[in-house]
Amino acid sequence: MSSDDDMYDDDSFEQETVDDQILDREGLKSDMEEVIASVQETIQVTKGVCRILLQNHKWNQEALIDKFYDSADLETFLSAANIPLHTPSSADGECDICCDMAPLTGLSCAHMACSQCWKAYLTEKIKEGQSEIECMAPKCQLIIPDEQVVKCISDDTKVLDTYHRVILNNYVKTNVYLEWCPGIDCGKAVKGSTCDPHLIVCTCGTRFCFACSNDWHEPVDCRQMKLWVKKCGESSETATWIIENTKDCPKCLTSIQKNGGCNYIRCTNPKCGYQFCWICMNAWSVHANAWYNCNSFDQAAENNRSQFRNNHDRYLFFYNRYRTHEQSLKMEERLIAKMNMKMEQMQNHSMTWTEVQFLREAVNVLSLARRTMMFTYVFAYFLRKNNHSMMFETNQKDMEMATEQLSGFLEQDLEGENLKTLKLKVQDKCRYVEQRRNALLNHCKEGIEQDVWKFIE
């Protein structure tokens, strides 16, 4: 971007860690084989046996090699892992499973069966999602090496493909540095630079937390996010009531449908025209000079109700605001098309493609702010009232005011604006939103580091 767009520096946006890798199935396979080859340099076994050993140690190479060096010898080491070292046994005879006379094979445990019975057994285990399959004999825990499994099912490409898919699935499932992208039909995995919670942005566009696979939920931690999701599920009837598309005008009771992201509402009844806030339903005029504290829960009012009703109302308060920002985020997706049209118009008036990108970046800033606002209400739901929480609410209020101002400006008719003046206004509003957002998030981080937050369990 041009130099006058320096407001969009690298610290202004949430970004995935640069060392994170997005891997498709081929990339996962190569990554897994690289780890196997690395361990094989130390432990001289087949690839299949090495994979099983790594799988049993959750793909922790150091832990596996340390355990290997602590063992007396390779045979003892493999025996402790229930992996056969010797060549499989074979003989002709009657199969104990199907009672047919046929060539029989088995592991070093000498449990024998015909090839068809082995294939049927292995196929069933693979369909169950198992990649480390034990001998079919009851109570025998000897694990069948990959090479033998592949040899037995090699004539059935469908089962063979399923087996390789199960191996990759279990590789991701047990490796703390790997997570599947939760995006619909994505099929990619992320190899994290750390297993700690951090933002992942997949190539499919899905944004999620590496540690819990939920939507990226800063400043809420993973445990609180899990409790919030559970709480929302338990309150499904309440949620249905809250997310209705209409609300009544506080003055004339006309039913109004919110069709934009901005929470400034003007009653559609020509005889009324009452202006109010969609969040708190109070007159918009109280927001004009000093942003009304509709983001702050009234503890005194809560104490006047019974404990059960208190908890119910408290949840409704924060859930309503959480859902409102979530809905605004979805509604504001249409701004992308609007800004694209405006950008084309500006390019037709001698502005370059680079110079008009500030409009697209403004939508990004607004989207980021909405997401952050959503999860600040989850954070606030668990937060106990004290002086620090009051500071948090002040930062939250300032950010909400800045977000609504940017949203309202972008949704209005921009046709009459001078292009250069428009650019300055948008950049100023975006800069302020980012300043308020960073101030709020930094305050939350500092509170965690200094252990000043007190949360409701």
Residues marked active site are found at 262
Tokens for 174, please give them: 């047990």
Sorted by sequence, the CB contacts under 8 Å of residue 410 that are 6+ apart come out as 335, 338, 339, 362, 363, 366, 426
Tally helices (H) and strands (E) across the chain: 16, 12
What's at 301, amino acid-wise? A
- E strand or H helix at 265: strand 264-266
Nearest to 380 by CA among 449, 454, 439, 330: 454
What's at 80, amino acid-wise? A
* 319, 232 contact by CB (below 8 A): yes
Helix (H/G/I), strand (E/B), else coil: 373: helix
* Residue 12: DSSP 8-state: G
* 118, 105 contact by CB (below 8 A): yes
Nearest to 231 by CA among 318, 336, 356: 318
What's at 357, amino acid-wise? Q
Beta bridge partners of 104: 91, 114
* 214, 208 contact by CB (below 8 A): yes
- E strand or H helix at 313: helix 307-331
* Residue 143: DSSP 8-state: B
Sorted by sequence, the CB contacts under 8 Å of residue 284 that are 6+ apart come out as 264, 265, 275, 276, 277
* 122, 153 contact by CB (below 8 A): yes
* 455, 384 contact by CB (below 8 A): yes
Whole-angstrom CA distances from 59 to 87, 166, 170, 171, 426 are 26, 16, 10, 8, 49
Rounded Cα distance between 169 and 181, Å, is 12
